[in-house]
Structures are given as C-alpha cells and as structure tokens.
Amino acid sequence: MENDAIGAGVRNGGLFSTTEIRILICYILNAVKEPVPASMLSNILHFEGIANVFEVSDAMAHLEANGQIVPVDDEKKYYEITPEGTSVANELDSSLSLTVRQRAYIATMKMLAKIKNAKGTRFHISNENGHSYITCSAVDGKVTLIEVKMLIPDEKSGTYIREKFLENPSEIFSGIIEKLSK
C-alpha cells in the first residue's frame, strides 16, 4: 500500500497508509464489541507508535462519513462499528500485521478497563496542615464502599498514584479487605 499518511510519531512497523489506519480502526471497534471514545483511540494509536494522531482522526471522520462507524452520543465522543465496518474488519484485517493488531487491541482494552475503573472510583488530593494527601474511594452510585487516605510527598505523586490505582482498583481494595478480615 502507498505511504500516504503523515508519519510523525509513528515507529517502525507502524501504519503509514490511510487505508490501513481505517482498517485498523474497524478491526479494533469490531474486536472490542463496545463503544470506544474517539480521542482515546487516536491517543492510543499515537502513543503506541502505530499511527499519527491526526491521521487517526481523519480516518475516523472518513469512516463515519461512509457509514462504517457511528457516534453513539450527541457529542460524537464514543463510536461503534456498523455492519459495513464489520465487513471491512472481517475481510481486510489480515492485510494488517498481527503485531500491529495485537498492540492496538491490548492498548485499547487497557484503556477501556481504566475508563470502567474510573467510573467506580473517586479521588481527592488535599492539603491539610502543610501535608498532601490522596483519598481513593470505591463507590457504588452515591454510596462509598471503602476509602483509603494516604500521605503523599506532593500532588505530582498523587497523580501517579491515581493512575496506578486505576489499573486495578479492585485488586487494591480486595487486598486491604483480605488483610483486615484475617
């Protein structure tokens, strides 16, 4: 395929063809079987070095205009695949390297897990008596199920802790409950 995409930020083995980028988007949306935030998909493919962020955005606009993906909300933040897009994914995904497909799929699934984890958690960084704290809470609607408050060196550390916490909050809370209930 012709290299017709902008290559800024794309690593060796990444995609330099707009057609391949469109196929990959259809492949991802077909594989995850749930709506995906457009900005998240652009960022994931860019940060993984698979495709240029602007090319991904253009490819999504093209796929939407051709009826292969559709927004599932009014702000066009989340997209899902249509039967036409599923057909593209099923017929053409083998034209993409297995490595690219796997990297993109795994990165997408990790990000979707973080989004789901964030919905059931709350974070608050506070300063009390000259000290910084982060409070991490597991919530169910308006009910707080468990809450942990930790002293942190600074707000930057709090942001790092928040990101690590979002990778698997249930593991952290389960560990605390297990230790307390023995």
Share of the chain above pLDDT 90, in %: 26
Task: List the chain domain ranges.
Answer: 18-115, 120-181
DSSP class of 146: E
Among candidate residues 143, 142, 136, the one with its CA nearest the CA of residue 170: 136
The partner residues of 133 in beta bridges, in order of sequence, read 126, 151
The partner residues of 124 in beta bridges, in order of sequence, read 135
Tokens coding 120: 């059931």
pLDDT in tens, 139-159: 877 888 888 899 999 988 998
Tokens coding 140: 């169910």
4 pLDDT higher than 50: no
- Token pair 């099923």 in the structure block, residue: 90
Query: Is residue 25 a contact partner of residue 61, using CB atoms and an 8 Å limit?
Result: no
Cα dist. 61→55, 56, 68, 94, 164 in Å?
Answer: 10, 9, 10, 23, 33
Average pLDDT over residues 153-178: 85
Minimum mean pLDDT range among 23-27, 152-156, 166-170: 166-170
Among candidate residues 5, 166, 21, the one with its CA nearest the CA of residue 92: 21
Q: 140 in the Ramachandran plot: left (φ > 0), alpha (ψ -120 to 50) or beta?
A: beta
At the topology level, CATH places domain 18-115 in Arc Repressor Mutant, subunit A (1.10.10)
Query: Is residue 173 a contact partner of residue 138, using CB atoms and an 8 Å limit?
Result: yes
R_g (Cα) of the chain, nearest Å: 20
